[in-house]
Structure 1
């Protein structure tokens, strides 16, 4: 009982989400549905015109043959035109809706609050955007409007057939296994199988993405065979689940189509015996066969749509999970003027699901204009401290405050404009070096780009054949780790924030380049407050002050 109530509630939530998401596309979808209904109406008129013409030539009706032929041609032309209009309308609405939905979900993912540990794998999120969004948009823009047209076609064909022969109509309704199409067991099992298939498909994509991204590491560790075997296992599992759903769907469809074949045979034999005893005209016989197809085609379409709509609810649950990601605080940026300091007071922090405090009672005031090294062993909380400053994480206790001579502001996503962050490792994107630098300041001039490169000891860029327009691959492919790291530092220097956070910025640099970098930073970035994460004591000695963190025991 409780399980049924939960399922009903979940169904309502899915329908509510679909209704909210389709705002702005409902009216175009309705208009497309009306076009489909008009197309179905013309097809029923075509059946009537065919009967009318055959009755004329067999002398059962006295009327103009040429008028009937004109009506037949008109029906054919109208069906073709309406088919073109419906297809074009459906494609236009669907691609616009698909683009908007992906854009909204993509924005939600980018704006979602980072909890220190991602709930969903990036490959899974990508799978939902690529695979589940089209399922939703096709259903709302094509399948549902087509369903209404199918319903009108079924009702119209049955009414027309009833006017010709009520007894035959009753027989067909008795034979056609409508109940099977809406079997509760069928729907429940198809929904469960669809959910399992989508989950496994996401696992396959996540595996592919991760292994391709780290293919050099996989190759050097000689782990290629194991990675391929893991993929084969996931694909075999996916294949089993798909075939289980396919077998179940085929069995159900065969049962339905068996009923349809029996219905067609009944209509044909009914017409044959009617012709034999004179109660049915040739025109009626033709209409019987055409109308049986008009009745059966919607039934077949409905039998196909049930699995499709089950997949819609599965996709809706998965996309709803993306849209429910907690967003960061939104609003107008809070920018403080002049030199800024940042003060951490009595800060405690533990990552979700962990009892170990990464930071406990930590306090330090990073004074405006200072160059501070934060030193500590791995796991001591150095990178966590930067994330707290960037408001990517919130402290469990204590405060993190930005200040200048006049103002103080608790850090939040809205104060992030005051900070510039250079994360650890290679963080370049595919594109040109210029593209990467402009991420820091889109309106930067050529002179500003060159100045930032010089400060970051990345003057080598200007000696490259293509200079700033040199292409680099994903994660800076084509550049050494040290070169990519210096370009990332230059990008951070271009950002207008008054506080520059550098996480292990010299980990891939030699001692001479490291010394030049720190000298240029301290000399040419005097209007900024620099906080530099490092594990090297030699770096700390080159800074004006140092903070030492120690790893707390669990």
Structure 2
């Protein structure tokens, strides 16, 4: 895990705040006004008590009007600034979550395989909120609290320097020590890591819940989840205990401070050295000094969690990201040529010096046992992987060019297994549809042997659950084929398109696809020898 320095965290936080700084500055100014109004309230309260006990001075009526006005104005400004802050936090959280999600969605393959979905989800959800809250709220509130503390201490010093010194001397500032910071950061890091572990187990249990029941391993998976929960509980209890002990010490010191102010004020009042108004102001100012000190202390765990969350998000964002390019539409693609193509996963070669030519109107089948590079070849053609050696060339009316990610728009791709999203069948079909394409939904479904959709009560507006829940594997597969046909790319990449179909349906589908795609560049990765025999070119990988 990344352990960045404070300076890097601050620079990163500053870059995130871009676009929100003017709103944050407005919030800061409004809160400064509120601090000023609170001190005006203390001053007018003192004057009002003195006016009530001694007729000399300002008229009591105007002082009371001033007190009511300062409270009303303070409440109004606080309400607006609070709403402004919540809006900023929400917007900043959503922006940061989008940024982190984009980084993961565009990560190169070698990084994707290293991350668990459950871990990514917990980081995007909780860590982004933690960072956004610190940037939008805690940093400014920390500065405002210091200003409020200094202003209150200054006011109290003006009234009674000795009392101000005593209050500061007994305030629990010792908790700002490095030992406290290190302990809190260690505990926060452990809790965050265990939250990620729990999320991993939870996500897998939910995703494979039917498989878990079918295999009879529910007790073991439940025990694994319970074990993770128990570990998370113990870590959070350690964090809670540490926080409780330190807060208990703070509260003892705070109560002692209030007692000191009260006793000091009583003796000064008895001696006739201060007025009743000054005594009232003493007690109010002590509260306004102790509250900021408590607030400053309460920000420490938040800053510690921010630094831990910042490390986790920087780690999430640190990987190589596929650069965004402008899609390049090919014109009447004639050939896709593969020359001496080689690729390996770590130390294992899965493709070595592969040579292949895909031509329009000459469908090709790639056949071979599992683990021989068939699916890897598709990923290379889609520029999801980079070849170690060799090159892939596209040839269309405009000539030859090397294959890049910008050409991905020209591919109609059917992955192996279920690839439907939750939503309606129509939403799934139109997700990848090309505007003004030659096919409509009905024709695409018929070509894909998916006429069964018309028999559903809701037709193409039938809802599909997560991972095609509610459909058989074969039904989901054929709807995915119809989706690819609606895209109408020049190059078809079909990975095991008949694997979930019976022989009759598979043969009918093959005939329809080959007839409709007679002018396409068609590549079928398959174990289906019936399909392979109907292709003009067959490549066997062994």
Is 1:459 the counterpart of 2:436? The answer is no
Shift of 1:60: 7.7
Cα-to-partner distance string for 1:108-162 (whole Å, 9 max, x where unaligned):
2222222275222111111111111111221222222222221121011101100
SS at match of 1:12: helix
How far apart are the structure 1 equivalents of 2:295 and 2:151? Answer: 16
Indicate the residue corresponding to 1:365 in structure 2: 357
Indicate the residue corresponding to 1:410 in structure 2: 402
TM-score, length basis structure 2? 0.97
Is 1:66 the counterpart of 2:61? The answer is yes
SS at match of 2:349: coil
Q: 1:442 to 1:242 in 2, by over 3 A?
A: farther
Match of 2:535 among 518, 522, 543: 543
Match of 1:508 among 493, 496, 500: 500
Indicate the residue corresponding to 1:112 in structure 2: 107
Cα-to-partner distance string for 1:227-262 (whole Å, 9 max, x where unaligned):
111111111111111111121122222222222111
How far apart are the structure 2 equivalents of 1:120 and 1:150? Answer: 40
Shift of 1:434: 0.6
Indicate the residue corresponding to 1:332 in structure 2: 326
In the TM superposition, 1:4-83 aligns within 5 A as 10-59=5-54, 61-83=56-78
How far apart are the structure 1 equivalents of 2:276 and 2:141? Answer: 32
Question: Superposition RMSD on alpha carbons, in Å?
Answer: 1.8
Cα-to-partner distance string for 1:394-422 (whole Å, 9 max, x where unaligned):
01111122223542222221111121110
SS at match of 1:115: helix
How far apart are the structure 1 equivalents of 2:84 and 2:438? Answer: 47
How far apart are the structure 2 equivalents of 1:59 and 1:331? Answer: 79
Indicate the residue corresponding to 2:124 in structure 1: 129
Indicate the residue corresponding to 1:171 in structure 2: 166
How far apart are the structure 1 equivalents of 2:96 and 2:25? Answer: 19
**Contact 2:332–2:396 under 8 Å retained in 1:** yes
Cα-to-partner distance string for 1:270-323 (whole Å, 9 max, x where unaligned):
011111211122111111111110000001111111100111111111122222
Indicate the residue corresponding to 1:469 in structure 2: 461
Larger mean Cα displacement after TM superposition, 337-346 or 497-506: 337-346
How far apart are the structure 2 equivalents of 1:197 and 1:273? Answer: 50
Is 1:227 the counterpart of 2:221? The answer is yes
Q: 1:234 to 1:17 in 2, by over 3 A?
A: same
Match of 1:284 among 278, 293, 304: 278
What are the ranges of 5 or more consecutive residues in structure 2 without an aligned counterpart?
none
SS at match of 2:498: coil
In the TM superposition, 1:315-354 aligns within 5 A as 315-351=309-345, 354=346
How far apart are the structure 1 equivalents of 2:112 and 2:59? Answer: 78
**Contact 2:331–2:397 under 8 Å retained in 1:** no
Q: 1:510 to 1:9 in 2, by over 3 A?
A: closer
The count of aligned residue pairs is 542
How far apart are the structure 1 equivalents of 2:437 and 2:423? Answer: 18
Is 1:493 the counterpart of 2:459? The answer is no
Shift of 1:504: 0.6
Indicate the residue corresponding to 1:3 in structure 2: none
TM-score, length basis structure 1? 0.94
In the TM superposition, 1:361-440 aligns within 5 A as 361-404=353-396, 406-440=398-432
In the TM superposition, 1:152-163 aligns within 5 A as 152-163=147-158
What are the ranges of 5 or more consecutive residues in structure 1 without an aligned counterpart?
1-5
Match of 1:258 among 232, 252, 260: 252
SS at match of 2:5: helix
